[in-house]
Amino acid sequence: MRALQVSRSVGRLGLARVAGALAPAAAVRVGPLDLVRIDPPELPGPGWHRVRTRLAGICGSDLSMIEGHASTYFDDWVSFPFVPGHEVVGELDDGTRVVLEPVLGHEARGFPPPFPGAAPGDGDDYAHLATGHLEPGIQTGFCCSTGGGWSEQFVAHTSQLHRLPDDLPDERAVLIEPLAGGIHAALLAAGSASVQRADAPVVAVLGAGTMGLAAVAGLVRYAPHVRVVVGARYPHQQRAATALGAHHVGPAAELARAVRRLVGCHVVGDHLSSGAHATVDAVGSAASITEALHITRPRGRVVMMGMPAEVTLDLTGLWHRETELVGAYTYGTEQLSDGTAARTFDLAVDTATAIESERWLSATYPLTDHVDAIAHAAQAGRRGAVKVCFDLRVGA
């Protein structure tokens, strides 16, 4: 079958990093990603299914890996060669359409779940991600045993699959996975003590690519008492955030002042004297984390949704202001404000329909045009796009 595959090559990763600074397409050409013909992965055991890819999204974490920016942290949590692609809508052998919850959790790896009914992402010991009968891999798309969505087919465990209703189109469904990530980050922000204590809490969202927009959608839908302030770099992102119902949307450079106006505080040096009760950083750079720390009030929470890799930060303000710095990786089981629990993916399915998430799907490419597709995704903001996908449906 045809597949895009990432091989372990330090030299090509280094080349990609250099070339990526010049042009995303150059990084793809010289980097560790190749369009290859490989055998489909074997089914690892009972409860596993063969999934034929219909649509597979290109995520920021995929780009980071291809462009050689991913942290060495992942060296022990992924296994090469792997086929990327974790935002996937596919089809089982019996024709059932499914969306993938990509985390290779306890059940997929043959371990008992941490609690009855746990989602793949739940648990407080990640040993299972690197052990068991599968090669290491935090999720589908980074594990050589399972394959990934950037190929004609891959394998997935029953615990990872969500059957799609007939009236939910592929183009909407392919946004469910990123929406789940955004909702998880939104609920982490909304669940912070700082937000919980406030009468009129303010949550800032820094960045409005797919994940930033997903966080906004999550905040508006599942934390309606929160005033959401969004800093979005591009006009189409601003329009999308506004359409989702954010309280205030403006250019990213104006976010700090917008937060200040809303909470009515001072500016002292680089920091707001108070600030947002929580901030979701949907960018993941040193600059964005720094900005998030500057605009979050003392004892507030910064939720890092964007994958940061290696950054240099001045954390004096974090120390002085007792800021919580919290990561937001994927999804699991959420505690909602009404006291009930829900799987993030279920919330994301509902949200995808409520917001008609297919609006965010900007372009689709065949696998053979992967250089153009990845370049498009890497420049999504400036090219007016939100989500770029591979389309492997028959006839596409």
Residues forming the site for other proteins (CB under 8 A): 250, 254, 257-258, 260-261, 264-267, 273
Distance (Å, whole) CA 44 – CA 282: 35
Residue 254 beta carbon to other proteins: minimum distance, rounded to whole angstroms: 5
- Judged by beta carbon, residue 35 or residue 265, the one nearer other proteins is 265
Residue 257 beta carbon to other proteins: minimum distance, rounded to whole angstroms: 6
- Judged by beta carbon, residue 274 or residue 288, the one nearer other proteins is 274
Contact yes or no for 174/352 (Cβ under 8 A) = no
Can the peptide bond before residue 165 be classed as cis, meaning omega within 30 degrees of 0?
A: no
Contact yes or no for 112/105 (Cβ under 8 A) = no
Task: DSSP for 270-290, please give it.
Answer: TEESS-EEEEEE-S-SHHHHH
- Judged by beta carbon, residue 100 or residue 205, the one nearer other proteins is 205
- Judged by beta carbon, residue 79 or residue 273, the one nearer other proteins is 273
Q: Which residues contact 94 (CB under 8 A, 6 or more apart)?
A: none
Contact yes or no for 179/186 (Cβ under 8 A) = no
Residue 291 beta carbon to other proteins: minimum distance, rounded to whole angstroms: 16
- Judged by beta carbon, residue 258 or residue 278, the one nearer other proteins is 258
Residue 306 beta carbon to other proteins: minimum distance, rounded to whole angstroms: 24
Q: Please state, in angstroms and as integers, the Cα–Cα distance from residue 215 to each residue in 14, 182, 248, 304, following that order.
A: 32, 4, 14, 11
Distance (Å, whole) CA 294 – CA 34: 41
- Judged by beta carbon, residue 253 or residue 315, the one nearer other proteins is 253
Contact yes or no for 184/280 (Cβ under 8 A) = no
Q: Which residues pair with 57 in a beta bridge?
A: 389
Run of H or E including 334:
strand 333-335
- Judged by beta carbon, residue 227 or residue 260, the one nearer other proteins is 260
**Cβ count near 272 (within 10 Å):** 21
Between strands 227-232 and 248-251, the pairing is: parallel
Residue 248 beta carbon to other proteins: minimum distance, rounded to whole angstroms: 8
Residue from 66, 234, 39 nearest 142 by CA: 66
Percent composition of the chain: helix, strand, coil (DSSP 3-state, to 5): 35, 25, 40
Residue 360 beta carbon to other proteins: minimum distance, rounded to whole angstroms: 24
The vertex-354 CA angle with 284 and 57, nearest 5°, equals 45
Distance (Å, whole) CA 202 – CA 192: 12
Distance (Å, whole) CA 296 – CA 315: 13
Residue 251 beta carbon to other proteins: minimum distance, rounded to whole angstroms: 8
Distance (Å, whole) CA 362 – CA 234: 15
Residue 202 beta carbon to other proteins: minimum distance, rounded to whole angstroms: 15
- Judged by beta carbon, residue 151 or residue 238, the one nearer other proteins is 238
- Judged by beta carbon, residue 267 or residue 315, the one nearer other proteins is 267
Residue 238 beta carbon to other proteins: minimum distance, rounded to whole angstroms: 11
Q: Tokens at residue 116, please?
A: 């009855």
Residue 255 beta carbon to other proteins: minimum distance, rounded to whole angstroms: 10
- Judged by beta carbon, residue 272 or residue 392, the one nearer other proteins is 272
